[in-house]
């Protein structure tokens, strides 16, 4: 039978990133099933529903139409939930190891068990399905979760960028969506660098950088005791000998640690209030990766904050660039502003 070809939008993904990229596309709901995936040279071309903010290039290609593959959560729930509930349900979810985390509106709480069970049926790699019960809260930026189905646990081992991370999804901030950003930073670290990760959580940045670069030393500072405890465990789990984790407030600890070649500030809600601390640990040539949540019309605000702190300290900086590395709300993004202190 002749193949039926249709011109589709695809994302071009390097082969070695294909599995992770496909999972991410499925999680975000952009992956289009029912069409062939093409391979050409060192890349795969995944069919997607539309263009979106992506680290990969888009290309239009003629793909073969295929019979529908295994069902997603929405299809599995058809007939099990009232149509209006299903229509308004967010079926995209985060996966941390074998735990899935959904965002379900409180008014659909009565359907928790049905939704959780359907997700376990859809994805055999899952053992636990949780729903976010609150947004990120407090100084530790943690979220409460409620159990929908499966094993009642909050700890899982998550794999990304060649490291294994023990994560407690309720007691410590962690976002699997940031693995691409961690890889971006990892690719910039030069041999022999001394790197500081302020606000280091359970160690996703410290472990990724220590494992995949030739940094001389990677230092993490985290105020949440459970985050620090897991960061220590994760350094051991990945057999890292060039990581040091400190428990406490960066304002008290960082001034005792000397100077660094690279400083990460992954606290987008209020990192600007710690820029003076980062500047104090910078020498000429230090690169700072500064994270913020800003509206796309207002992203230059980050440069203004950095300019203000440098002016007060009599220092100068060069702006290396700003990248979007996540979305927080319509037109509000997580930005990373990269600067070099001169």
Ligand X SMILES: C[S@@+](CC[C@H](N)C(=O)[O-])C[C@H]1O[C@@H](n2cnc3c(N)ncnc32)[C@H](O)[C@@H]1O
- Output the smallest distance, CB 37 to ligand X, in A: 31
Whichever of 14 and 162 has its CB closer to ligand X, that residue is: 162
Name residues contacting ligand X, limited to 177-236 (CB under 6 A).
Answer: 178, 199-201, 204-205, 221-224, 227
Give residue 269's Cα distance to chain centre. Answer: 15
Distance CA 323, CA 103 (A): 26
The stretch near ligand X (CB under 6 A) out of 55-63, 67-75, 134-142, 303-311 is: 134-142
Distance CA 11, CA 18 (A): 10
No. of helices (H) and no. of strands (E), the chain: 10, 17
Distance CA 278, CA 272 (A): 10
Residue nearest to ligand X (CB): 201
Nearest 10 degrees: Cα torsion 237, 241, 245, 251: -150
For residue 174, give both structure tokens.
Answer: 């962690």
Name residues contacting ligand X, limited to 300-329 (CB under 6 A).
Answer: none
Whichever of 59 and 249 has its CB closer to ligand X, that residue is: 249
DSSP 16: G
- Output the smallest distance, CB 85 to ligand X, in A: 32
The stretch near ligand X (CB under 6 A) out of 81-89, 117-125, 138-146, 228-236 is: 138-146
Among 93, 174, 290, 335, binds ligand X (CB under 6 A): 174
Contacts of 311 (CB under 8 A, 6+ apart): none
97 binds ligand X (CB under 6 A): no
Whichever of 116 and 227 has its CB closer to ligand X, that residue is: 227
Among 173, 317, 333, 335, binds ligand X (CB under 6 A): 173
Name residues contacting ligand X, limited to 234-253 (CB under 6 A).
Answer: 249-251
CA geometry: angle 104, 107, 109, nearest 5 deg: 60
For residue 78, give both structure tokens.
Answer: 């058809």
Whichever of 7 and 329 has its CB closer to ligand X, that residue is: 329
- Output the smallest distance, CB 151 to ligand X, in A: 23
Distance CA 3, CA 141 (A): 51
- Output the smallest distance, CB 191 to ligand X, in A: 23
Residues 265-304 vs ligand X: string with x where CB under 6 A? -xx-------------------------------------
Q: How many CB atoms within 10 Å of residue 322? A: 19
Distance CA 290, CA 77 (A): 42
139 binds ligand X (CB under 6 A): yes
Q: How many CB atoms within 10 Å of residue 172? A: 25
Whichever of 43 and 141 has its CB closer to ligand X, that residue is: 141
121 binds ligand X (CB under 6 A): no
Q: How far apart are the first and last CA of the chain?
A: 65
24 binds ligand X (CB under 6 A): no
Distance CA 94, CA 196 (A): 28
Distance CA 178, CA 242 (A): 22
Whichever of 149 and 267 has its CB closer to ligand X, that residue is: 267
Which positions touch ligand X (CB under 6 A)?
A: 139-141, 173-174, 178, 199-201, 204-205, 221-224, 227, 249-251, 266-267
């Amino acid at each position: 039978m002749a193949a039926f070809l249709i011109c589709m939008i695809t994302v071009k993904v390097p082969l070695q990133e294909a599995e992770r990229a496909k999972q991410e596309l499925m999680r975000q709901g952009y992956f289009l099933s029912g069409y062939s995936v093409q391979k050409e040279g060192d890349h795969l071309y995944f069919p997607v529903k539309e263009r979106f903010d992506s680290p990969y290039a888009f290309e239009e290609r003629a793909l073969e139409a295929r019979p529908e593959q295994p069902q997603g959560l929405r299809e599995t729930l058809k007939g099990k939930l009232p149509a209006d509930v299903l229509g308004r349900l967010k079926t995209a979810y985060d996966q941390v190891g074998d735990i899935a985390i959904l965002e379900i509106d409180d008014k659909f709480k009565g359907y928790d068990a049905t939704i959780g069970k359907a997700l376990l049926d859809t994805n055999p790699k899952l053992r636990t399905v949780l729903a976010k019960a609150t947004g990120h809260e407090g100084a530790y930026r943690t979220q409460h979760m409620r159990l929908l189905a499966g094993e009642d646990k909050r700890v899982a081992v998550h794999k990304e960028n060649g490291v294994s991370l023990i994560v407690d999804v309720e007691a410590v901030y962690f976002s699997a969506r940031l693995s691409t950003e961690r890889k971006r930073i990892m690719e910039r670290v030069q041999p022999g660098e001394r790197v500081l990760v302020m606000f280091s959580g359970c160690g996703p940045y410290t472990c990724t950088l220590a494992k995949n670069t030739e940094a001389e030393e990677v230092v993490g500072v985290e105020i949440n005791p459970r985050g620090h405890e897991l960061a220590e465990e994760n350094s051991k789990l990945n057999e890292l000998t060039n990581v040091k984790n400190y428990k406490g407030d960066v304002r008290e600890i960082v001034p005792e640690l000397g100077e660094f070649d690279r400083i990460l500030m992954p606290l987008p809600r209020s990192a600007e209030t710690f820029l003076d601390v980062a500047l104090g640990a910078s020498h000429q040539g230090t690169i700072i990766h500064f994270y913020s949540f800003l509206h796309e019309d207002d992203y230059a605000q980050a440069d203004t904050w950095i300019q203000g702190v440098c002016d007060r300290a009599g220092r100068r900086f060069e702006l290396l660039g700003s990248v979007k590395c996540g979305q927080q709300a319509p037109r509000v993004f997580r930005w990373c502003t990269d600067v070099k202190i001169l």
